[in-house]
Amino acid sequence: MMNLFRTLFRKELLDASRDKRSVMAGLYYSVGTPLLMCLLFSVLFKQLSSSDELLISIDNADAAPALVQYLANKDIRHGEGDDVKAIRLVFSTDFQQHMQQGRPATVIIDTDRANDQLQTAIRRLERELGRYNSDIATLRLMARGIDPQLMQPVDVQLQDQATPDSRGGTFLAIATLSIILTLFYAAMNLAIDTSAGERERNSLTLLLSQPLNSLQLVLAKITAIACFSMLGLLVILLVSKFAYGMVPWQQLGFNISLNADFMLFTLLIGLPLALLSASLQVMVSFVAKSFKEAQTYVTMALLVPAGLSMVTAYNIAPDYLQWLPIAAQQQAMIAYLKGSTIAMPQLLVSGLLTLAIFAGCSYASSRLLKSEKVVFGL
Amino acid sequence: MNTLKLKYLCAAWPLVAATALLMPAAASAQQTKLITPQQAKPALTPCYAKNLTDRMLCGSIRRPLHANAPTQDASIDIHFAVLPAINPLHPQEAVLGFAGGPGQAAFDAAATFVHGLRYARESRDILLVDQRGTGKSGLLQCDSLDLTSQFALDENNLDMAAITRQETALCLDKLQVDLSHYTTVAAAADFEAVRLALGYQKLHLYGGSYGTRMAQEYMRQYPDAVLTATLDGVVPFNQSFGAMGAASDASLEAVYTYCDASPECRQQFPDARAQLQQLQQRLTAQTISTTVRHPRTYELIELKLTRAKLQQALRFALYSNRYRAMIPMVVEQASQGDYSALVGLMLAQDFAADLSIGVNFAVVCGEDRPFWTAQSQAEFTKSYLGHSWLQGAEASCNVWQVKPVAADYTVPLQTDTPVLLLSGGLDPATPPGWAELAMAQMSNARHLIAPHATHIVASQTCAPKLISQFINQQSASTLDDNCLKQELRHPFLTNANGTAMTAAAALQISPVSTPISDQE
Amino acid sequence: MIKVTDLHKKIGQVQALNGLSFQAENGTITGLLGPNGAGKTTCLRTLFGLLKADSGSAEIDGLNVATQSTQAKQQLGLFPDPCGLYERLTPREYVQFFAELNGMSTQDAKLATAEALSLLKMQDIADRRCQGFSQGQRMKTALAQAIVHKPTNIVLDEPTRGLDVMSTRLLRDLLLMLKQQGHCVLFSSHVMQEVAALCDQVVVMAKGRVVAQGSPAELCLRTGKTSLEDAFISLIGTDEGIAA
C-alpha cells in the first residue's frame, strides 16, 4: 500500500519536475510577484512621501506674506510648470486687514478632493495651515498675557501600540495576499497537467487499468502538486525577503521584514493550504472534459481563494470569515508580522477545515475516477 | 520659604532655557520598576513618552553611586528607553541622545530627540538615558515657586544672596546628597554601562545644549565606543556658563538689528532700543508694583516688576524666533504701563520646572566655578545676566560644597572621531563661537551654522536630514548645508493680533509700502 | 487464460456489448476481429476494469475482474491504444514504474525492466525521453511495459496500427515468443493479414457479440471462402469497417 503510494508519488514528482514550462510558470509567479510589488510600492511611496517639496498655485500671495513665508519654510511653495499640483491657494484681498483686526482672514483651497493623487498634498496643506492658525493664536494670547495652553483644555496623548513592523497595514496585507496565493497559482499548471493532461494523453486509462485504487493515485498526485506549491511558497518568501528589503518602507515610518521565524511559520501554516489547493484544482480539472476546459474552470475556481484573501487583505471581511481557510491563515501571518497576538482558535479551526476540504476534494476526485464519463472525458 | 527657591533658579541656571526648548513639555511615562541582576540583559517593557505616540522600550540598570568605591551600598537605578529602529539595518549601533540643562531628563525630551533624529531612526535604534540625578534616575529636585509667588517677589529690595544661601541649605538638607557624584565626569560611566547592558557595539552620539558637553565627556572616557558625534548648541569644556550673559545680550541685539532692517518694525517702533534701555534703567532703580491678570486663572495678582524679571523674560523669549518677534512690542507696551504682553513672555519660565537642581549645581559648582578667574569674572559681570548668575552660583556653591573635577577638565576634547557641530546664529545660550572653541583639537570635525536659528538647530531646520547623512556616511565633509540658511525669523508683531508687513519686507527685499493697520 | 461470459454493456443509447462470451487460452494467440463499432475496445476496457459490465463477467486466470480486481490485474499486461506514454519519462523509468505498480519491489522492478528492454532490443533508446519517439519506438516501449511484470495474460489493443514493416515483424516475433512461453495473448485488430498470420484462434465480433470463433483455417472452411477476409465479410454480413 505504502510502496504503491511511494511509486506513484515519485513518478508524479519526476514527471512534474520535468514539466519545465508548468514549473517555470509557477515560479514566475513566485519570483515575479514580489519584484513587481516592490516596484509598485516604490512608485506609490514616491507619491505618498510628503517630505519633498510641494508646489501649488498661490494667488494673491502679496496679501499674506507672512503665511507664504511660513509655508515656504514647510517646503510648500508657489510653482509653475508640470510639477505643480492642481491645488490653488487663494488669499482674500482683505487678508492682511482682517489679520490686523483679529478677525478671521479667509484662505481658499481650490482643488478636487476626489482626486486620489492629491489627497496627501491636500492633507499636508491643511495640516500646515492648521499649525499656522495655532501659532498665530498662541502669539495673540501671549500678547494679551494669557497662557496659550488655555486653548487646549484636554491634552490628548496617543499611545500607539503599533511597532514599526505592524504599521504596514494595507501593504502588509497585500504582501501576505501574494504569498498565500502562491500556493494556488504556483501549482495551477501542474495540477491541470497531471489530471486533465494525463487524461488527454491517454495515460490515465492505462494507469487506472493497473492494480491500484484511485484514491492512492489521487493522493499521490495531490501530494506531488502540494510539494511544488510549497516550493513556490519557499521561493516567494525568499524573493519577498529580498525584494521588500529594497522598498524604502521606513520613509513612511514602518517596516516589513520577513525573518526566518516568519518564513518557518508561514511554511507550517501553508502546508494544509497547499494540500487544499492541490486537491481542489485536481478535482476541478477532473470534472472538466478537456484540458482547455480545465484551465478555464480552475481559473474560475481560484477566484474563491483570491476573493477570500482579498477581503482579508482589505479588512472588509465579516467576522465569521476569519474562521475560514485562507482568511484565517492570512490573518495569522499578518498578526505574526505585526507582532500582535495570533488568533489561535481561528487558526486551528481553519487548519482543520482546510484539511477537511482537502480530504473531501481528494475523496471526490477518487470517486470521479471511478466514473466512466470522467475517465474517458465523455 | 518657597520664595527662596526661585532665587537659585533665576541666579544659577546656566542653560535652563536650553532645556525649555529641548523639551517643551513634561514627561508622562508608564513607569516600570525593574530589579535585574547586574549581568543579565535588563528587562525591557513598553513605555510611552510625552507627545510621542511611538512605543518605546524602557528598562533600568543598577549602578553604584560612588564610582571609586563601588563596594559601598549606595546605588542608583539608571533608567533608559530605546526607540526601536524602523528598519534595523544596523542592530549593533544606536544613536544615544544626551539632554540639556544641566539636569534635563532625556526621556522627558524624547519627542524632541525623535524629531531631530527621525531620519537617523530609520535604520538605527534611538537610546535615551536619564542621566543620574535626572528624571527617573533619582531626580534631585526641591520645591519651586508657583507663578503667583514668583510674580510677587521683589528682587530689588531683598537680600538675594542670603535668600539663596538659605534656600540652598534647605534643599541640601532635604536631598542629603553629595553632588560630587553627579558631575558630568561621574555620569559618563552610567551611559557606558547602559551601552554594554544593551549590547550595542558602537554608538552615534547626539547631544543638545549641555548634552554636547556630556557627549564630549563620554567620548573622552570611552573613545572606542563612539562612531560619530553630533553636537547641537555646543558647550565646550573651556567655556564658563557665565559667558552666557554676553551671548544673550548679543542675541537680543540681533533682534533690534533685524527690527531696524524691517520697515514695519522700524515704523511701528522707531525708538525701540531707547525704550528698552529706559525700561531697564527704570526697573534697576525701582520696582514697579502693579496688578495683572493671572495668565491661567484670570485672577488679579500682584506683580513686582524688576530688572531681574524683565531680563529673565527677555532671555527666555530669545530662545524662540516666534517669541523674538514679540519683543519690541512687549517692551513698548511695558514702557507705556501695559504689562499684559510682558506677562505672556514670562510664562516661558514655567517650562523649566522639571529640571534637576542637583545635577545643575553639580555641574556648575564642580566643573565651572573651580575655573573662574578674576579676569573671567570681570568679563561676565559686564552683562546683567552674567553678573546675577555669578552671584547666585557663588552663593549656592558655597552651600553645596561639590568637589572640583580634575584640573585638566577644561582641556578641549582631542579626537579624530567624526564630529558634526551645529550652531544657531541667533542662539542666546551657545553662540557659534563656542563650537569653535570646542573643536580646536578635533581633527575630523565640521561646524555648520544656521544663521537664523536659535538654540538647538535640529528642532528648527533641515538638520535632521544632515544628521542622518552624517551618521550613515560617518563623515561630515560632503554634507550640503545650504538648507540651513533658510529664513527662520518671524515678522514682528506690530499689534496684539499679528503683523503688518509686505511680501518684500518678509523676504528682505527692498520695502515698498507699509500696509495701513486700522486697529480696532 | 481470459474468459468472458455473457457481457452486456450499454454506452449511452448504444448496446456496445450484447451477450459477449469467449475464451482465450494460455499458449495461444487469440485475435479479436471486428469492424469499427463492433465493441472490441469496450470489451477490452471491461477486461481492464475501466468499464463495468451491466451484466456478465470477465475473468483473468479465473479471477473476476470486478470483484478481485487487484489480483486479476496483476496477471494482466496491457498494450493500450494509444500507447499512453509519459513523454517526459525515459522508457526505463516508464517501464520500471509500471513494474512497481504491479507489486514488484524496486530492486526486482529494476532487473525486470532491464530484461524487458533488452528483450525488445531497446538499449539504445532506454534512457532517452519518450518525447519525439517514432511510432515503432513507442510501440516497443508500450510492449515492454506490458510484459515487464511477466503477466500470464497480455492484451493488446490494435497493436499494429501505424507500424512500419520492420516494427510489425518485430511485434510478430515477440507475440510468437510470448506464445511459446505459454502466455495467453489476446489482441484486437481489424487488419486481416495480421490476424491471419499470427492468430491461433480468431474471435469475430459484430454488434457486441461473437459471431464466430475458431482458427483462421476453420473459419475459411466454415464459410467456404479461401481468404480470411472473405470469410470475415461473409460472417458479419457486410464489408463495413474492414481494412484491406
Residue A214 region by backbone torsions, left for phi larger than 0, else alpha for psi between -120 and 50, else beta: alpha
Mean pLDDT of A121-146: 91
Q: Where are the beta strands (DSSP E) in B374-507?
A: 419-424, 445-450
Contact A62, B511 (CB under 8 A): no
CB contact under 8 A, C80 and A202: yes
The confidence score (pLDDT) of residue B511 equals 35
Q: From edge to edge, which strands make up the β-sheet containing C76-79?
A: C76-79, C153-157, C184-189, C29-33, C201-206, C209-214
CB of A99 less than 8 A from some CB of B: yes
CB contact under 8 A, A145 and B28: no
* Residue B452 pLDDT class (50, 70, 90 cuts): very high
Q: How many contacts does A have with B, using Cβ atoms within 8 A? A: 131
B249-259, pLDDT tens digit by residue? 999 999 999 99
The confidence score (pLDDT) of residue B518 equals 36
Which chain A residues are within 8 Å of C58, Cβ to Cβ? none
Q: What is the CA radius of gyration of chain B?
A: 23
The CA–CA distances, whole Å, from A36 to A170, A236, A238, A308 equal 16, 12, 15, 22
Q: Which of A59, A67, A100 is the mutation pick for testing B, counting most B CBs within 10 A?
A: A100
**Nearest CA distance, C72 vs chain A (angstrom):** 8
**Chains in contact with A, counting 3 or more C-beta pairs less than 8 Å apart as contact:** B, C
Q: Do chains C and B touch (3 or more CB pairs under 8 A)?
A: no
Mean pLDDT of A357-366: 93
Selected residue with higher pLDDT from B348 and A290:
A290
Strands C14-24 vs B419-424: parallel, antiparallel or unpaired: unpaired
pLDDT value at B216 more than 90? yes
C183-207, pLDDT tens digit by residue? 899 888 877 777 888 888 888 888 8
Q: Nearest to residue B213, comparing CAs of B238, B182, B194, B244?
A: B238
Residue of C nearest to A16 (CA): C88
Mean pLDDT of B74-102: 90
Which chain B residues are within 8 Å of A147, Cβ to Cβ? 295-296, 347
Of A19, A202, A207, the CB nearest to C82: A202
* Residue C68 pLDDT class (50, 70, 90 cuts): confident
B357-395, pLDDT tens digit by residue? 999 999 999 999 999 999 999 999 999 999 999 999 999
Q: How far apart are CA B257 and CA B378, in angstroms?
A: 27
Contact A139, B326 (CB under 8 A): yes
pLDDT value at B12 more than 60? no
Selected residue with higher pLDDT from B60 and C199:
B60
Q: How far apart are CA C41 and CA A205, in angstroms?
A: 12
Mean pLDDT of A209-213: 85
CB of A251 less than 8 A from some CB of B: yes
CB contact under 8 A, A68 and B487: no
CB of A13 less than 8 A from some CB of C: no
Q: Do chains C and A touch (3 or more CB pairs under 8 A)?
A: yes
The CA–CA distances, whole Å, from B132 to A177, B185, B191, B394, B403 equal 50, 11, 10, 24, 17
Listed by start position, the domains of chain B span 46-140+180-238+411-478, 243-349+489-505
- Does the pTM surpass 0.90? The reply is no
3-state secondary structure chain C: CEEEEEEEEEECCEEEEEEEEEEECCCCEEEEECCCCCCHHHHHHHHHCCCCCCEEEEEECCEECCCCHHHHHHCEEEECCCCCCCCCCCHHHHHHHHHHHCCCCHHHHHHHHHHHHHHCCCHHHCCCCCCCCCHHHHHHHHHHHHHCCCCCEEEEECCCCCCCHHHHHHHHHHHHHHHHCCCEEEEEECEHHHHHHHCCEEEEEECCEEEEEECHHHHHHHHCCCCHHHHHHHHHCCCCCCEC
- For A87, residues 6+ apart whose C-beta sits below 8 A from its C-beta are A56, A57, A109, A110, A111, A118, A121, A122, A125
The confidence score (pLDDT) of residue B516 equals 37
The CA–CA distances, whole Å, from C188 to A205, A372, C21, C158 equal 17, 21, 15, 5
Contact B361, B179 (CB under 8 A): yes
Q: How far apart are CA C86 and CA C95, in angstroms?
A: 10
- For B173, residues 6+ apart whose C-beta sits below 8 A from its C-beta are none
Q: How far apart are CA A280 and CA A188, in angstroms?
A: 10
Of A11, A18, A206, the CB nearest to C84: A206
Of B46, B491, B517, the CB nearest to A66: B491
Of C78, C88, C101, the CB nearest to A18: C88
Of A14, A204, A211, the CB nearest to C89: A14
Kindly state the helix (H) or strand (E) to which residue B96 belongs, with its residue range: strand B93-98
* Cis bond before residue A164 (omega within 30° of 0): no
Q: Which of A206, A207, A215 is the mutation pick for testing C, counting most C CBs within 10 A?
A: A206
CATH number of this structure's domain B46-140+180-238+411-478, picked from the four choices 1.10.10.1100, 3.40.50.12280, 3.40.50.1820, 3.40.50.2300: 3.40.50.1820
CB contact under 8 A, C70 and A211: yes
Residue of A nearest to C78 (CA): A206
The CA–CA distances, whole Å, from A48 to A54, A255, A342, C199 equal 12, 15, 30, 83
CB contact under 8 A, C49 and A209: yes
- For B516, residues 6+ apart whose C-beta sits below 8 A from its C-beta are none
Residue of A nearest to B512 (CA): A62
A251-263, pLDDT tens digit by residue? 766 777 788 889 9
CB contact under 8 A, A66 and B518: no
